[in-house]
Structure 1
Amino acid sequence: MPDQQINKILLVGFRATGKTTCGRLLASSLGWGFIDMDEELKKRMGKEISEIVREKGWDYFRAKERLLLKEILFDSDDKRLVVSTGGGVVLHKDILSDLPGDTLAVWLRASLETIQKRMSKDSATAHMRPALTDQGDPINEVMEVLREREPLYREFCHIAIDVDDLSPAQISERILSYAR
């Protein structure tokens, strides 16, 4: 757990686990600022993430994501902030292993079934969420990427919340209980 008063809450987890929805609710409840890292990157680059990845590749996107994460955590003027990260932010291990002492990292954990169901219902998935592997099959892709990332989510997060059967309001309430 953070070693001082919490001023930043970092929401991490796989795609479609509710980071943005819960982040907005949480920021509103706390009266804090809110940043969705994917939205901020799209705004700064003037393109959808899928376009950025298609044109310049995942390494380029991850480099931009890395710079934004460092800016938010270490250089932000906004002292109290809820941050919805991209699902792959845990790949920036060096930054997450050195989180500021006022930052609470929360893993929104969902089952494979929940992730698949939410992604299939999300009309934005196809154009906003580029393939993460060359699997071709979305189920195998999710399983492969979860196998890679779950140990990282576990390592870098202070708390994990299973979101399968919770509403965004319930998830936000659980996070609030840790943040206060």
Structure 2
Amino acid sequence: MHAHNLILTGFRATGKTSVGRLTAARLQWAFLDTDDLLRQRLGAPIAEIVARSGWPFFREAERQLLRELAAMRHTVLATGGGAIEHLQEWRELRRGALVVWLDADAATIRQRLQDDPDSGHQRPSLTGQAVADEIEQLLERRRPLYAAGSDVRLVTANKTPAQLAEDIVQALCK
């Protein structure tokens, strides 16, 4: 596949940012993270934005950003876990791109969230439940979207970010 962009999708804590940075370096492409871009644009951590303005406000800002990013070239883009739910924008974004779904089971995600000291302020609850308690419910809702909106699925459990980056470069070169 001769894609001009690479988009990483998947649930929280599946490695989109760390794998994306390594892959971009290997490809000598730019790297962007939609959550970082939204934090810069909105001037606060995501948890603070959501607490202040709510999820609908955040999702609308995310939708607008995805529209803008559809014009990027030679970029590795790590998207927020919920970006896949913006179906129209996702279709535009993935034109000419290889979309890689980084997948992990709920237990792996829960462990990674527990091991990440920054997780609490970077990854607020989406449902009002404790973050660890909402994983299965959200995975059930999003897995069909990730499957339909991706070209390649990589299971991230028991693989290092470097191994995953190598798998992605290989997929991109096919």
The TM tier, using the shorter chain, reads over 0.9
Q: Distance in 1 between matches of 2:87 and 2:76?
A: 20
Do structure 1's residue 102 and structure 2's residue 73 form an aligned pair? no
Match for residue 146 of structure 1?
139
In structure 2, C-alpha distance between the alignment counterparts of 1:62 and 1:46, rounded to whole Å: 15
| Aligned partner (choices 74, 78, 86) of residue 80 of structure 2 | 86
Report the counterpart of residue 7 of structure 1 in structure 2: 4
From 53, 56, 60, the equivalent of 2:57 is 60
Which is worse superposed, 99-108 or 57-66? 99-108
Distance verdict in 2 for CA 1:100–1:107, change over 3 Å: closer
- 1:58-109 CA distance string (max 9 Å, x none): 11101111111111113x3xx2000000000111011223445321111000
1:49 aligned residue: 46
Aligned positions, number: 173
Match of 1:175 among 141, 156, 168: 168
Distance in 1 (alpha carbons) for counterparts of 2:160 and 2:3: 24
**Are the equivalent residues in 1 in contact too, given 2:103–2:153 (CA < 8 A)?**
yes
Find the partner of 2:27 among 24, 30, 39. Answer: 30
Q: Tell me the CA shift for residue 7 of structure 1.
A: 1.0
**C-alpha distance after superposition, 1:20-63 (max 9, x if no partner):** 00000000000000001101110111100001101111111011
Hey, what's the Cα distance between the residues in 1 that align with 2:33 and 2:81? 11
Q: Do 2:66 and 2:90's aligned partners in 1 also have CA atoms closer than 8 Å?
A: no
Structure 1: 5+ residue runs without aligned partners? Answer: none
Q: TM-score, normalised by structure 1?
A: 0.92
User: Is 1:119 the counterpart of 2:113 in the alignment?
Assistant: yes
Matched letter for residue 57 of structure 1: G
Q: Is the 8 A contact 2:8 2:77 kept in 1?
A: yes
1:178 to partner: Cα distance: 1.1
How far the C-alpha of 1:122 sits from its partner, in A, is 0.5
Residue pairs, 1:72-83, within 5 angstroms: 72-74=69-71, 76=72, 79-83=73-77
Unaligned runs of 5+ in 2: none
Q: 1:100/1:146 Cα in 2 relative to 1: closer, same or farther (>3 Å)?
A: closer
